[in-house]
Amino acid sequence: MSENNPMVEDAIFEPEIALEPLADETPAEVDLVAAEALARVQAASARAAQNKRQWYVIHTYSGYENKVKANLERRIHSMNMQEKIFRVLVPMEDEVEFKDGKRKITPKKVFPGYVLVEMDMEDGSWYVVRNTPGVSGFVGSPGSGEKPLPLQDQEVKTILKRMGIETPKLKLDFKKGDHIKVRFGPFLDFTGVVDDIQPEKEKVRALITIFGREAPVELDFYQIERI
């Protein structure tokens, strides 16, 4: 039937039409728009990843906190979870005691039986932490088999301040104008130049080369290395 139907024949054999850029847009301008759009999307992804980085509390037997910390840190490295589990802390503070006319300073655990973990809570990282020898579970889980709730920002600040590590001294191996390479995150293996450093946020703004053009991107210190 289609052999005698010119409409069907035209529909089947109509040649493809090549799409051309708009008359007022050059190929270079199209590339720039695409690069800027990609940079915005990837920057949003990076911000979303940063927002997942939160502090949680795990429970262990009193007196085993440092051993659990060491066990977990070994598992983080052996299972390549450095991009998901960032820091493990046993909250400590110095206790000053005067005895026999002498001043003695002794480190004391702030929360015996508890360890703090800074992590991106997802299935893999959750599995690694809760299956670490010595860990009896997470604090703040809404129910059996459910992921726990993170600490509030103010709670974290109070604990870190009490430990004397609220504002650690930063040692940076890069400065404005240095060429860097991205080691982690959505811009992995991209290169660029440091444009601005924000020590209080532990972030840099870098001009990353995308499609041959530079686009400003915000990155964490740990994500980059100098080249």
163 CB neighbour count, 10 Å cutoff: 16
Beta bridge partners of 192: 180, 208
Write down the pLDDT at residue 220: 85
Taking residues 113-140, what's their average pLDDT?
A: 94
Same domain, 148 and 187: no
* Residue whose entry in the numeric block shows the structure tokens 């004397």: 164
Write down the pLDDT at residue 38: 60
Write down the pLDDT at residue 37: 59
Domain boundary among 163, 195, 214: 163
pLDDT for residue 5 is more than 70? no
- CATH number, domain at 219? 2.30.30.30
119 CB neighbour count, 10 Å cutoff: 23
Task: Give the pair of three-digit tokens for residue 35.
Answer: 């690069």
Tens-digit pLDDT profile for residues 53-103? 899 999 998 899 999 999 999 999 999 999 999 999 998 887 766 556 566
Is position 3 within any domain?
A: no
Domain count within the chain? 2
Write down the pLDDT at residue 13: 42
Pick from 111, 117, 146: nearest CA to 129? 117
Same domain, 57 and 158: yes
- CATH number, domain at 145? 3.30.70.940
* Residue whose entry in the numeric block shows the structure tokens 């051309």: 20
Same domain, 71 and 129: yes
Task: Give the pair of three-digit tokens for residue 213.
Answer: 């053009």
Same domain, 193 and 101: no
Tens-digit pLDDT profile for residues 22-46? 455 555 555 555 556 565 555 555 5
Domain boundary among 113, 133, 163: 163
154 CB neighbour count, 10 Å cutoff: 8
Q: Which residues contact 6 (CB under 8 A, 6 or more apart)?
A: none
Radius of gyration of the chain measured on its C-alpha atoms:
27
Better pLDDT: 98 or 114:
114
Confidence grade of residue 7 (pLDDT, cut at 50, 70, 90): very low
Range of the domain at 86: 53-163
Better pLDDT: 183 or 51:
183
Is position 5 within any domain?
A: no
Same domain, 188 and 130: no
Is position 37 within any domain?
A: yes
Tens-digit pLDDT profile for residues 151-200? 988 888 888 877 766 544 566 778 899 999 998 888 888 999 999 998 87
Stretch (H or E) spanning 55: strand 53-60
